[in-house]
Structure 1
Amino acid sequence: MMPVNRRRFLAMALSFPAVASAAVNSPSPSGVPDLVEAMLTRAHVPRHSNELWVLIDDQESTLSVFRGNALLERFAPISLGRAGAKTQRVRGDSVTPLGEFRINRFNYESQWRTFMAIDYPTPAHARMALESGVYSQTDYEDYFEYYRRYGHPSQNTALGGAIGIHGLGGADPDIHGRYNWTQGCVAVTNEQIDRLAELVGVGTRVVIR
């Protein structure tokens, strides 16, 4: 279990306060502000000149590692979820979530060679789920209570979880080169995930756009 970064968590909690339950009783998805899309307009800007961060581009089918604005590595093509990439996903829909994340765990014994988990769903995803009616007010409050207690979001809500970057393991490289085939994760080749694991670590910022 990772320790809670209390300063970061408090900032998230203040940025996405609970709203009245009436918003849940009268959902209007078409009128819900896309908080994630708004965040993505500035997510590609490095936090500082020496920041190591990852940019995953759905349209270009690339994963790029930067140090500040300097490109260190670029992997292509990559594979995303079978149902594409969107700012909001729900459990089981095979969508890759767009947004700004942090790597929060490594699993070197994954069936996909190495699995780098990201902290999806973020507070922005949770807030959008509340305002669109996917989360109830109780779900929303439970989300923050779980995050406060454990230092990462629950992976067992209506928004799903277990999203990350991984290799192929024993998957077919030919399929990987031609189709988006994952259940919502970002996949690269085994050689590429090995290289990526040398570059990034827990806490590395990951932008999926």
Structure 2
Amino acid sequence: MRYSILLFILISNLAHAGVDLVKVDKSESKMFLLDGEFVVKEYHVAFGANPKGHKKQEGDEKTPEGTYTLDYKKEDSSFYRAMHINYPNEIDKANAKKLGVSPGGFIMIHGQRNNLGWLSVITQRFNWTNGCIALTNREMDEFMKLVNVGTEIQIYW
């Protein structure tokens, strides 16, 4: 009985939790959804094939580092659902211009490649994106319910 009550309270709190910050620790392959100081949810995530360091140019297979905003949801992606990260920001564009390269873009949090969700047991064990942050499809559904457009995301090593 006591376990049932605690489980009910936990589920109720999760359902009503407001995520106001997403933190991504690239060194641990973890994403944390936060409501203030409270961790609402933690996920194991996959990144670009070359995850260490900040994204500087298109094709470097790095996931950006820094503070960004999740600025829109995309349901018609090549991957199972997606939410866009507003990379490149003005600083990223200026740095790429100094280097004479394109900063790249279209960095998303997304699920698995369409029709291949069943492979997530394998794909989530290594970094396979071109710089995006990947979840399983089930986790992506949950992420989309918990995180609103306009939420800040902090990505760091």
TM-score, length-normalised on structure 2?
A: 0.79
Deviations for 1:25-60, whole angstroms, at most 9, x for unmatched residues? Answer: xxxxxxxxxxxxxxxxxxxxxxxxx87110011011
Gaps of 5+ in 2: 1-17
Q: How does 1:4-43 map to 2 (within 5 A)?
A: none
2:131 pairs with one of 184, 187, 190? 184
SS of the residue corresponding to residue 86 of structure 1 reads coil
CA distance in 1: counterparts of 2:41 and 2:125, whole angstroms: 21
Which position in structure 1 is the counterpart of 2:22? 54
SS of the residue corresponding to residue 122 of structure 2 reads helix
- One-letter amino acid matched to 1:182: T
TM-score, length-normalised on structure 1?
A: 0.60
Gaps of 5+ in 1: 1-49, 136-157
1:107 pairs with one of 67, 74, 79? 74
SS of the residue corresponding to residue 130 of structure 2 reads coil
Establish whether residue 84 from structure 1 lines up as the match of residue 28 from structure 2: no
C-alpha contact (below 8 Å) 2:47/2:127 kept by paired residues: yes
Deviations for 1:10-33, whole angstroms, at most 9, x for unmatched residues? Answer: xxxxxxxxxxxxxxxxxxxxxxxx
Query: Greater CA deviation, 187-196 or 108-117?
Result: 108-117
SS of the residue corresponding to residue 84 of structure 1 reads coil
2:110 pairs with one of 160, 166, 176? 166
What is the root-mean-square deviation of aligned Cα atoms in Å?
1.7
Establish whether residue 97 from structure 1 lines up as the match of residue 41 from structure 2: no
CA distance in 2: counterparts of 1:74 and 1:90, whole angstroms: 29
CA distance in 2: counterparts of 1:201 and 1:101, whole angstroms: 14
Equivalent residues, number: 136
Query: Greater CA deviation, 99-108 or 168-177?
Result: 168-177
**Percent identical across equivalent pairs?**
29
Which position in structure 1 is the counterpart of 2:144? 197
C-alpha contact (below 8 Å) 1:89/1:96 kept by paired residues: no
- Greater than 6 Å deviation, 4+ residue runs: none
Shift of 1:122: 1.1
